Each structure stands twice: as C-alpha cells, then as structure tokens.
C-alpha cells in the first residue's frame, strides 16, 4: 500500500527511511471490508430457514486511519495541525482514495472524528481519523470519453484523377463505454458544447435502449443524465429536466464489458455539441 489521499491531504505508507515533513499512516482499517447487510432476516415459522429477500441492502461502512507526522520545526508542526483540522473537519463529504499495488480506489466519506496528540519535545504528533462511507461501494478510476454528432465524410471527385483524393473522413458520432470491473457500473452522460433545437438522443447500440430528451439545449449549458440515480438535470441538480425525457430506458454497464453509445440530434444544431460519458467501475 503506497498512499492515502483524503480531503486534499496525502498520507504516505512507510516503505523506506522516514522523511521529516511527510505525513505517514501506519494502519488502515476496514477499507477493503464489505458493509454489513441491513436487510431484515424473516424466519419461516413452520419450516427450515428464512424467507428469501428480493434485494440484500447494505449499510454504511466505518473506516479508520492511524498515522503520525514529524515536523522540522515547531512552526511546521502547528501549521500541519491547522491544515489537517481545516481539511478533515469540514461540513461536507470529502473524497478519499487509497492507492495500492493493484489500483486506486475511492469513496466519498463523512469525517466523524479527528484525534491529534502532539508532542512538542519531538515536534511530532500521532493522529487517528475515523470516517464513514455512507455509500459503501468501492469505485475504481473514472473513465472519461467524448464524441461529437455524426458527420458525413467526403467522397471521390468525378471524373477520377490521380493521385486519388479520398476526401475527409466522417465521424460516426459514437463512443465506447468500458467497464473492467467485476460488478455492474453506472455511467453519467453529459451533453454540452453547442446549441441543439429540438433535443437529442443517446442510444446504446448493443441493447437498443435509449435516452431521448426533447428539450432544446442552449450553448453554454450542460445537461446531465445519471444512470445510477435515474436523474436528469440542467447545470445543477436542482434544475430537473426529467419531464422532457420522452424515452427513459436507463441501462447499466455489465461487468467486463464494452458498449458502443451513439449521439444524435433531433433538430438543427449550432456550435459543436458533444456527448461525454463518465464511468467508474465498482469493486
């Protein structure tokens, strides 16, 4: 294990000689654990076993980190304490990423407790950080791909002359969503970059499922479509546009899969409309 990044701070794993002025961690607890089930078990009164549940829901996941810091000066000691308090005692969720020998993995966490014990004589402190992942899902690195609308390519001029001029290549208006993980992944689609009168359509060419938005999009705005929550909004989650989805066939990216997604306009366009897809595998 090489490092932990949380709230804008980095904790290094000690695998060689200690460097003064670097925050190190000595213990990471339950990052790789699975969250407990919160689905109630209902025993069958007059038979063996319990009733089968349609879905096994998982609870939040408590995680803890222990570490230390050794400063070159007393001023640096208190400066780092102030940095840790500012970064790790916020009033919002923070991003936490653990990078090990296999891959980086991330969660959004709530800081529950930060304990610091300073030692002025050695200009150092020990700390313990307790956080809770409200969503216990472990996410891998995000894959981001983009495409523009389909365009026609040029052809051979007539009469044919040599050397041949094959014209410009066209663009199919597609992108590839890849999920290398062992479980289903969810993609967030973002449409931006140009004006679109009449709306647009996002098509999964493997399954035929579609998202069709019959709402004009002005240049300078971005429409978001989150398959994990089936949410559609313009610029901000408060600006819901799901009422304009005349076809809402949400889909997931299956494990170990690649899907081709096509982007089409439903009317006239201006500028260069683009479709961006963000996918994070889950583990």
Q: Is the pLDDT of residue 37 over 90?
A: no
> In terms of DSSP H, where are the helices of 89-221?
none
CATH architecture, domain 3-37+55-133: Beta Barrel (2.40)
Backbone φ, ψ for residue 85 (5° rounding): -65, -40
121-172 pLDDT tens trace: 999 999 999 999 998 989 999 999 999 998 865 555 666 666 655 556 567 8
From-to residues of CATH 2.40.30.200 in the chain: 3-37+55-133
Backbone φ, ψ for residue 78 (5° rounding): -70, -30
pLDDT at position 167 is 56
Distance CA 77, CA 124 (A): 7
Q: How far apart are the first and last CA of the chain?
A: 17
Q: Is the pLDDT of residue 176 over 80?
A: yes
pLDDT at position 123 is 95
From-to residues of CATH 2.60.120.860 in the chain: 143-279
61-110 pLDDT tens trace: 999 999 999 999 999 999 999 999 998 887 889 999 999 998 999 999 99
Let me know if domain 143-279 sits in CATH 3.40.50.720: no
């Amino acid at each position: 294990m090489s490092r932990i990044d949380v709230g804008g701070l980095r904790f290094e794993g000690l695998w060689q000689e200690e460097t003064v002025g670097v925050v190190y961690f000595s213990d990471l607890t339950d990052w790789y654990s699975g969250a407990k089930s919160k689905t109630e078990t209902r025993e069958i009164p007059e038979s063996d076993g319990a009733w089968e549940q349609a879905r096994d829901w998982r609870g939040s996941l408590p995680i803890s980190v222990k570490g230390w810091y050794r400063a070159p000066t007393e001023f640096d000691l208190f400066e780092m304490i102030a940095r840790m308090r500012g970064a790790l005692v916020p009033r919002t969720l923070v991003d936490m990423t653990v990078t090990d020998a296999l891959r980086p993995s991330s969660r959004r966490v709530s800081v529950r407790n930060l304990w610091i014990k300073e030692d002025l004589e050695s200009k150092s402190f020990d700390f313990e950080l307790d956080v809770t992942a409200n969503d216990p899902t472990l996410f891998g690195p995000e894959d981001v791909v983009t495409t523009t609308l389909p365009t026609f390519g040029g052809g051979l001029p007539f009469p044919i002359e040599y050397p041949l001029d094959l014209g410009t290549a066209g663009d199919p208006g597609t992108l590839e969503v890849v999920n290398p993980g062992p479980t289903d992944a969810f993609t967030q689609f973002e449409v931006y970059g140009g004006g679109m009168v009449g709306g647009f359509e996002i098509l999964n060419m493997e399954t035929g499922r579609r998202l069709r938005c019959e709402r004009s999009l002005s240049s300078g705005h971005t429409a978001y479509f989150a398959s994990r929550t089936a949410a559609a909004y313009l610029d901000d989650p408060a600006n819901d546009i799901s009422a304009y989805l005349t076809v809402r066939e949400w889909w997931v990216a299956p494990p170990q899969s690649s899907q081709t997604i096509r982007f089409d306009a439903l009317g006239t366009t201006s500028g260069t409309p683009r479709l961006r897809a963000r996918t994070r595998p889950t583990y």
